[in-house]
Every structure is written in structure tokens, then in C-alpha cells.
């Protein structure tokens, strides 16, 4: 297939553009909201260790597979499976991905709306308007949740309507470095505060007796969610990538960046929880479960910023929640791009129309969730924790036994000469054919109590 054929649908302007957009998709609420909450409720260090193993040994090979499938076919996730086999069943793998994307985006938009509402909370608090601050930060207020979800979806739709290089690429380029700087400064502050040492120990010293099938299930789901794997987001992004680029290297950079941000977020949030506890704020109930649940970071971080006080407190509070909103936005655009690229390729709908109508359809589900936030856990369980690893198994098996690893390796060698004979190439083949599908399947079944 000629490169121009790919260019017709949109293309990245540069290699850095692809890496930043893929890293932008990966880095999001998953790293800063979901990861610390999961780590805190699953034994800290033990979770971190298993999570790192899942990211590098399972996530990284699957990421290469997705980008390779996308670049080979130049198609959306459904079209990609159609292009690589004439069997009508395989595109169902892509359909499952599109469904997971739609459902994840529907709750993600609501949580992303919370991050925006907390930008206002910080401003109101600093201005001494504590009543307003408490009102706007009430995540149980359905109308407010809906309002912020609408605003967030409007931003996502407008970026997707501007296309690949203009919209998605530009949005990610400058903000990622800023996120790192703010994280580093905040970590520096937190770890010098009383109480944080206990949190550091919980996070960095694994207690192996805590490793259970439930923990491994949570870590695997988290790795797929955080790396944006299993639903074809990276098939889609790979479809806009030039044949000259080095896929194994790009995937390594994205995996590393994403894991680093999650690790840093844990280094900030978990000590901050214990610091808050030292100040008398209860974090765990008597059974050892997190009191705040998914609202954890929205409880711990504002307490931290208010504690900092003065100009520093506002500057960090506002900057942090603004950056988190942008990190969420670069993820929502990749989530929406999956069904939109499907509609553009398969139904020949114009990008602008596809983005608008699909975005509005998903927003309708978000509004239902805004009034029933208890649904977030259930949708997350079905479509992220189970759905994404399930998609990952199907992608590995399809690549290995239908498309065949040799053909995939031909694709991965474009931009990475002789990859198949390198250690990474040889290991990748074994992982994608046997280790990844077996480990993911075993993990899903054992969490269901079937093993």
C-alpha cells in the first residue's frame, strides 16, 4: 500500500508528533487518578512491582503488535482486521475495541470533568470563597457533573474535527514536559513533609504476601488501560504513521514515558495520603479499604495544596489540575478517534460529521453516568479491566496465527533493519505467540475464580 493512501486519511507531521500523540493517549487519568488509587487499595509496593512487569513484558509487545497492524493496513481497528483476513469473524475483534472505546470514553469524560471543576475549586479556595469551592467540588452533584462533561466533550470533539496533525499532534507537544516539571516539584515538597515517609515505604517496599490473583488482575487491567491497549487506539494511531519510522523504538519510548508518569504520580499521591493521615484526615476505614474510593486524588491533592497555602498553593493547585485536564484531553481524543476513524473508513462519513455525531452519542451516555456515578466502577470493570486484556489476547492470537508473526516482523523491520534477528525481535515473537496470550488468559480466569 502506498504511503499516499495513508496520507489521504491524515498523517503525523513528524516522528516526534506520533510519539507525543501516542504518549499523550497513554498518559492521562489512568496514570494520575487510576494508578495511585489502585496501588493504594492493592498493597502499594507489591502492586507497583506486578504493574511494572505487566507494562514491560505484556504491554510493550502488544503495543508493537497494535502499531504494526495499524501501519500495515492504514486502517481503523475494524478495517484493519478486514484487510488482513477474508474471514468475517475477525473484524469482531475491532468491533469489540470500538465498543470498549465508546464505553470507556463515556465515564472518562465525567472524571475528566471533575479535574476541570477542581481548577475552579482551587481558585475559589484561594479567593477565600470556601462555600463556592465546596459547592463546585461536589462530585455527587449530577447537574455539575453533566455540565463539566458537556464542556469536556465539546473540547474533544472540536480537536478531533481539526484532524490528525493539526489537532491531535499540536495539542500534545508542549504540555507533556510541563506535567513532568510540576510532578517533580510537588514530589520534592511532599517527601520532605512529616508522615510521608510511611507512604514512601508502603509504595516502594513490596510485601509479596499481598500478591493475589485479584492484585494481578487489577495490575494487568491497569497496564492495558494506562498504555491505551487492547481496543485499537494504537492500531488507529499506527495507521497514520509513516513506513520510515522505527516502531519497536517508538513503542518503547511510549511505554517508558507512560510508566514513568504513573510511577511519579504514585510517588506523589501515596506519601501525600499518609501525610494527610498524619494531619488527622482518615484515608482508610477499619477494614483497611480506601474511604474515598475513586475520589481519592480529589480528596488528597486539594488538602495538599491548601496545606501549602498562599500563592504557592494556588499556583500549584491550579497548574496541577489544568495539566491533569490536558492529559485527560489527549486521552479522550484518542478514545474518540477510534470510533470516528471507523466511521470515516467504513461508512465514508466526513470527519467533521463523524466526530460531532459520535461525540454527542457518547455524551448522552456520559450524562446518564454524571447522575449515577456508581456506574463508573461497573463500566470500568467490564470494559477496561476485563475488556482491554481480552482485546489484547485476541490481537496477539490474530497476529500470531492468522496474519502470522513473519509478516508482522516484515512490517516491524521497516524502519528497524533486521529487527527479527535482534534479541528484542526474537523475544517479541515468543511473547506475542505464547507468553502474552497465556498469561493474560490465565490471569482473567484466575480472577474469575476458575483457576
| Only segment of 66-74, 171-179, 310-318, 327-335 that touches ligand PFF (CB under 6 A) | 327-335
* CA distances from residue 186 to 124, 205, 316 in whole angstroms, order as listed: 21, 21, 8
Closest CA to 332 of 183, 129, 113, 55: 113
Q: Is 137 helix (H, G, I), strand (E, B) or coil?
A: coil
For the stretch 132-138, contacts whose Cβ atoms lie closer than 8 Å and that sit 24 or more positions apart, written own/partner, are: 137/298, 137/302
- What grid cell was written down for 26? 497513554
Residue 143 burial by Cβ neighbours in a 10 Å radius (0-12, 13-18, 19+) = exposed
In the complex, least distance from residue 51 CB atom to ligand PFF, rounded to whole angstroms:
12
| 54 near ligand PFF, rule: CB under 6 A | no
Question: Which of residues 11, 139, 299, 331 is near ligand PFF by CB under 6 A?
Answer: 331
Within 85-162, where are the H helices?
91-126, 130-136, 142-161
CA dihedral 264, 107, 228, 267 (to 10 degrees): 10
| 26 near ligand PFF, rule: CB under 6 A | yes
Question: Which of residues 17, 30, 43, 248 is near ligand PFF by CB under 6 A?
Answer: 30
| Only segment of 26-34, 75-83, 119-127, 156-164 that touches ligand PFF (CB under 6 A) | 26-34
| 334 near ligand PFF, rule: CB under 6 A | yes
Binding characters for ligand PFF, 210-249, by CB under 6 A (x = yes): ---------------xx-x--x-x----------------
Binding-residue total with ligand PFF (CB under 6 A): 16
| 114 near ligand PFF, rule: CB under 6 A | no
In the complex, least distance from residue 96 CB atom to ligand PFF, rounded to whole angstroms:
13
Question: Which of residues 28, 44, 79, 271 is near ligand PFF by CB under 6 A?
Answer: 28
In the complex, least distance from residue 387 CB atom to ligand PFF, rounded to whole angstroms:
10
CA distance 359 to 105: 9
Question: Which of residues 29, 183, 186, 399 is near ligand PFF by CB under 6 A?
Answer: 29
In the complex, least distance from residue 28 CB atom to ligand PFF, rounded to whole angstroms:
3
In the complex, least distance from residue 216 CB atom to ligand PFF, rounded to whole angstroms:
19
Closest CA to 96 of 273, 446, 342, 302: 342
- 225 or 419: whose CB is closer to ligand PFF? 225
| 269 near ligand PFF, rule: CB under 6 A | no
**Sequence-ordered list of residues with C-beta below 8 angstroms from that of 383, at least 6 positions apart, any chain:** 99, 100, 103, 104
Residue whose C-alpha cell reads 486524588 in the numeric block? 297
* Residues lying near ligand PFF in the complex (CB under 6 A): 25-26, 28-31, 101, 104, 225-226, 228, 231, 233, 331, 334-335
Amino acid at each position: 500500500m502506498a504511503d499516499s493512501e495513508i496520507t489521504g486519511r491524515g498523517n503525523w507531521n513528524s516522528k516526534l508528533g506520533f510519539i507525543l500523540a501516542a504518549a499523550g493517549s497513554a498518559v492521562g487519568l489512568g496514570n494520575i487518578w487510576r494508578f495511585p488509587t489502585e496501588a493504594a487499595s492493592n498493597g502499594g509496593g507489591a502492586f507497583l512491582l506486578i504493574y511494572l512487569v505487566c507494562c514491560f513484558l505484556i504491554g510493550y509487545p502488544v503495543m508493537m503488535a497494535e502499531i504494526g497492524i495499524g501501519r500495515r493496513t492504514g486502517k481503523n481497528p475494524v478495517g484493519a482486521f478486514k484487510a488482513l483476513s477474508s474471514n468475517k469473524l475477525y473484524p469482531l475483534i475491532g468491533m469489540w475495541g470500538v465498543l470498549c472505546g465508546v464505553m470507556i470514553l463515556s465515564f472518562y469524560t465525567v472524571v475528566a470533568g471533575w479535574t476541570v471543576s477542581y481548577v475552579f475549586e482551587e481558585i475559589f479556595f484561594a479567593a477565600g470563597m470556601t462555600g463556592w469551592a465546596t459547592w463546585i467540588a461536589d462530585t455527587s452533584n449530577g447537574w455539575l457533573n453533566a455540565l463539566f462533561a458537556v464542556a469536556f466533550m465539546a473540547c474533544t470533539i472540536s480537536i478531533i474535527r481539526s484532524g490528525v496533525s493539526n489537532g491531535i499532534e499540536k495539542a500534545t507537544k508542549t504540555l507533556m514536559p510541563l506535567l513532568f516539571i510540576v510532578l517533580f516539584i510537588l514530589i520534592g515538597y511532599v517527601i520532605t513533609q512529616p508522615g510521608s515517609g510511611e507512604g514512601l515505604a508502603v509504595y516502594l517496599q513490596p510485601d509479596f504476601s499481598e500478591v493475589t490473583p485479584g492484585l494481578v488482575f487489577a495490575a494487568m487491567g491497569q497496564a492495558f488501560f494506562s498504555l491505551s491497549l487492547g481496543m485499537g487506539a494504537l492500531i488507529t494511531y499506527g495507521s497514520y504513521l509513516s513506513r520510515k519510522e522505527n516502531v519497536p523504538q517508538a513503542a518503547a519510548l511510549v511505554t517508558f514515558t507512560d510508566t514513568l508518569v504513573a510511577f511519579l504520580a504514585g510517588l506523589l499521591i501515596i506519601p501525600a495520603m499518609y501525610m494527610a493521615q498524619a494531619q488527622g484526615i482518615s484515608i482508610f476505614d477499619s477494614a483497611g479499604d480506601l474511604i474515598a474510593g475513586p475520589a481519592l486524588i480529589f480528596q488528597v491533592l486539594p488538602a495538599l495544596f491548601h496545606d501549602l497555602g498562599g500563592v504557592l498553593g494556588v499556583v500549584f493547585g491550579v497548574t496541577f489540575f489544568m495539566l491533569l485536564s490536558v492529559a485527560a484531553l489527549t486521552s479522550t481524543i484518542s478514545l474518540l478517534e477510534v470510533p470516528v476513524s471507523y466511521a470515516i473508513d467504513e461508512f465514508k462519513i466526513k470527519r467533521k460529521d463523524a466526530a460531532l455525531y459520535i461525540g454527542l452519542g457518547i455524551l448522552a451516555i456520559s450524562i446518564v453516568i454524571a447522575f449515577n456515578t456508581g456506574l463508573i466502577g461497573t463500566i470500568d470493570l467490564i470494559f477496561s479491566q476485563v475488556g482491554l486484556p481480552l482485546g489484547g489476547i485476541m490481537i496477539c492470537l490474530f497476529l500470531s496465527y492468522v496474519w502470522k508473526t513473519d509478516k508482522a516482523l516484515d512490517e516491524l523491520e521497516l524502519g528497524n533493519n533486521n529487527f527479527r534477528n535482534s534479541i528484542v525481535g526474537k523475544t517479541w515473537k515468543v511473547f506475542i505467540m505464547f507468553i502474552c496470550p497465556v498469561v493474560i488468559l490465565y490471569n482473567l480466569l484466575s480472577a474469575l475464580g476458575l483457576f
